[in-house]
Chain A
Amino acid sequence: MERSRLVFSGSGGQGVITAAIILAKAAAIFENKHAIQSQSYGAAARGGSTRSDVIIDDAQIYFPKVTQPNILISLTQESYNTFAPIIRPGGLLLVDSKYVTIEKKVDARHIALPMFDTVMKNIGNAIVFNICMLGTLIGISELINPESIIKVLGRTIPEEFMEMNKKALALGLEMGKSAG
């Protein structure tokens, strides 16, 4: 497999970092791949732009930072504006159409989807926005098996929230597949 370098970006509270961790964890534990997740730290606990880097590869990963992502996810306009210029030419740029207006200034495959609105319409709880986003990403890129995401969720979240998360993942997958 080609090395995947992802940057997840958005604002604090959107679950961007959690999503990055879940993806990397799923790849590392359940798909026997090498994966690394890191994030930028600031002094403030909430708000502001957040960024989390994920690298997934069959080979050992040494340098853990992403300088040029081939996949960039931006869930706010601010993070889109900040990080779009670093994407690898021809890379995948996934944004939420509610929050981000695309300004196709960079050479990338732009995909804007109504992930947030879909979650709110079908589930009505913004807490699984990030899981829907992961589903969409996997639907487009086939990075990993979605089952692995469910296995990770099974390890970490209470049983009563599983259904809601599975549904959000499925909604995303569907959207991603048709967009991809």
Chain B
Amino acid sequence: MKDKEHIRFLQGNEACVEGALYAGIDFFAGYPITPSTEIMEHLASRLPQKGGKFIQMEDEIASMGAIIGASLTGKKVMTATSGPGFSLKQEALGYACMAEIPCVIANVQRGGPSTGNPTHVSQGDVNQAKWGTHGDHAIIALTASNHQDVFNITVEAFNMAETYRTPVIILLDEVIGHMREKLVIPEPGEITVVERLRTSVQKGVDYHPYLPREDGRLPMSDFGGEHRYNVTGLFHDMWGFPNNNPKVVSELLRHLMEKIETNVNNINMYKEYWLEDAEYILVSYGSSARSAIHLARNRRARGFKIGVLELQTLWPFPADMVREKCAGAKAIVVVEMNMGQVVTQVKNAVDHPNKVFLANRVDGELISPSNIKTLLRMIQGKGV
């Protein structure tokens, strides 16, 4: 039986935990909230088994603060939340953007706004992931539609957090978080794990925590180490000292945006199904992508030229890739469970926005293949 121990049957939230452990998580702080709680429950038992630290904080804001503090001591950190908790975390999330702190935030989406529909699915936080905190900033947000991919994007989330010194958001949804399916845990080394880039500057030599290297990366120095420096949410100079000199302000803001936006191709993760000759393309992500693929597979079997572009990187939005993949399509249907968030991005990306349609569902139930089919028939002028 031991030989099958790497094969697990678990919830998406647990797949996220397995991914985090594979990536080397050391520290988790969180606050209970449906439908993400399983992530914290499993880490409460798993982290101390490997000498890591878990803390249940007094609220969502505190959890976000705690992981930022822990990251500065050199740890790989994560918190997990859902809708209202994600709202509460936004100020500290912006701090992590500004102070360039690697950290991972999982948001298992539920119906909103407000307390909304806590035990039901939604994908209504896509725009919040990008614009939730105030001020211009760039962010990375990843999502997945099955547990193997949840595992993979979680590892990538940690990798990207370290590579770009930024918070990375894992946008799961209630269906993915709660349903159970198979996960094959890869062998160590099978997936690349990016470790923290630490400064090679020796004791006694000036270390500039916020002076990017030639390649744009910013090596870090752990709190408790030889380099003592300041970390602040104010605009700051290369030493980390508050500075509102217009040149410093402008350069820092541009740096924060560009380090992400110029790497959109490196950050972009996606999957495609039957796109090569597709006349109709379904663009989807998360659990709704499952319905899109289900429908496309059935229609393909009947000779219908339909394909699916499944997005795994939602932010920065991979506009060029979407434009290329959708160039030859007669119609592009964005399948999502909100009032139209990714569809706006797709319309902006493609050459003919009038060919872009929205197939959505916002009642707390997973959008079904037949929901999508209905819209497709309307686009084709076949009625319903």
Q: Do chains A and B touch in the complex (CB under 8 A)?
A: yes
A residues in contact (CB < 8 Å) with B: 21, 24-25, 28-30, 34-43, 61-65, 67, 151, 154-155
- Across chains A and B, which 8 residue pairs bring their CB atoms closest together, nearest first? A41-B119, A62-B294, A25-B9, A38-B179, A63-B294, A37-B180, A62-B290, A28-B182
Q: Are B294 and A29 in contact (CB under 8 A)?
A: no
The residues of A that contact B1 with a CB separation of less than 8 Å are: 151, 154-155
Main secondary structure of the interface of B (DSSP, over half): mixed
Q: Which of B7, B182, B369 has the most CB of A within 10 A?
A: B182
Q: What residue in chain B is nearest A61 (Cβ atoms)?
A: B181
The residues of A that contact B180 with a CB separation of less than 8 Å are: 21, 24-25, 36-38
Q: Mark B354-384, 1 if CB is under 8 A from A, else 0.
A: 0000000000001011000000000000000
B35 within 8 A of A: yes
The residues of B that contact A155 with a CB separation of less than 8 Å are: 1
Minimum CB–CB distance from B309 to chain A (whole Å) comes to 15
The residues of A that contact B287 with a CB separation of less than 8 Å are: 64
Q: Mark B146-184, 1 if CB is under 8 A from A, else 0.
A: 000000000000000000000000000011001111100
Q: What residue in chain A is nearest B145 (Cβ atoms)?
A: A62
The residues of B that contact A38 with a CB separation of less than 8 Å are: 175, 178-180
The residues of B that contact A24 with a CB separation of less than 8 Å are: 9, 180
Q: Are A42 and B119 in contact (CB under 8 A)?
A: yes
Q: What residue in chain B is nearest A40 (Cβ atoms)?
A: B119
Q: Are A64 and B290 in contact (CB under 8 A)?
A: yes
The distance in angstroms between the C-alpha atoms of A43 and B116, with both chains bound, is 13
B interface, how many residues as a size bin?
A: 20 to 34
Q: Are A65 and B4 in contact (CB under 8 A)?
A: no
The residues of B that contact A67 with a CB separation of less than 8 Å are: 368
The residues of A that contact B8 with a CB separation of less than 8 Å are: 29
The residues of A that contact B181 with a CB separation of less than 8 Å are: 28, 34-37, 61, 64
Q: What residue in chain B is nearest A54 (Cβ atoms)?
A: B180
Q: Are A34 and B182 in contact (CB under 8 A)?
A: yes
B34 within 8 A of A: yes
The distance in angstroms between the C-alpha atoms of A62 and B289, with both chains bound, is 8
Minimum CB–CB distance from B158 to chain A (whole Å) comes to 26
B291 within 8 A of A: yes
The distance in angstroms between the C-alpha atoms of A24 and B175, with both chains bound, is 17
The residues of B that contact A65 with a CB separation of less than 8 Å are: 366, 368
B297 within 8 A of A: yes
Q: Mark B28-60, 1 if CB is under 8 A from A, else 0.
A: 000000110000000000000000000000000
The distance in angstroms between the C-alpha atoms of A3 and B217, with both chains bound, is 50
Chain B stretch 1-31: residues in CB contact (< 8 A) with chain A: 1, 4, 7-9
B118 within 8 A of A: yes
The residues of A that contact B297 with a CB separation of less than 8 Å are: 62
B140 within 8 A of A: no
Selected contact of A41 from candidates B4, B9, B34, CB within 8 Å: B34
The distance in angstroms between the C-alpha atoms of A39 and B175, with both chains bound, is 9
Minimum CB–CB distance from A26 to chain B (whole Å) comes to 9
Q: Are A64 and B175 in contact (CB under 8 A)?
A: yes
Q: What residue in chain B is nearest A37 (Cβ atoms)?
A: B180
The distance in angstroms between the C-alpha atoms of A170 and B179, with both chains bound, is 29
The residues of B that contact A42 with a CB separation of less than 8 Å are: 119
Chain B stretch 289-314: residues in CB contact (< 8 A) with chain A: 290-291, 293-294, 297
- Extra contacts, 4 of them, besides A36-B180, A64-B181 (Cβ < 8 A), are A38-B178, A41-B120, A43-B118, A43-B119
Assuming the contacts A38-B179, A38-B180, asked whether A64 and B9 have C-beta atoms less than 8 A apart, the reply is no
Q: What residue in chain A is nearest B365 (Cβ atoms)?
A: A65
Q: What residue in chain A is nearest B308 (Cβ atoms)?
A: A62
The residues of A that contact B178 with a CB separation of less than 8 Å are: 38-39, 41
Q: Are B179 and A64 in contact (CB under 8 A)?
A: yes
Q: Are B369 and A37 in contact (CB under 8 A)?
A: no
The residues of B that contact A34 with a CB separation of less than 8 Å are: 181-182
The distance in angstroms between the C-alpha atoms of A30 and B9, with both chains bound, is 11
Minimum CB–CB distance from A58 to chain B (whole Å) comes to 13
Minimum CB–CB distance from B88 to chain A (whole Å) comes to 20
The residues of B that contact A35 with a CB separation of less than 8 Å are: 9, 181-182
The distance in angstroms between the C-alpha atoms of A35 and B179, with both chains bound, is 11
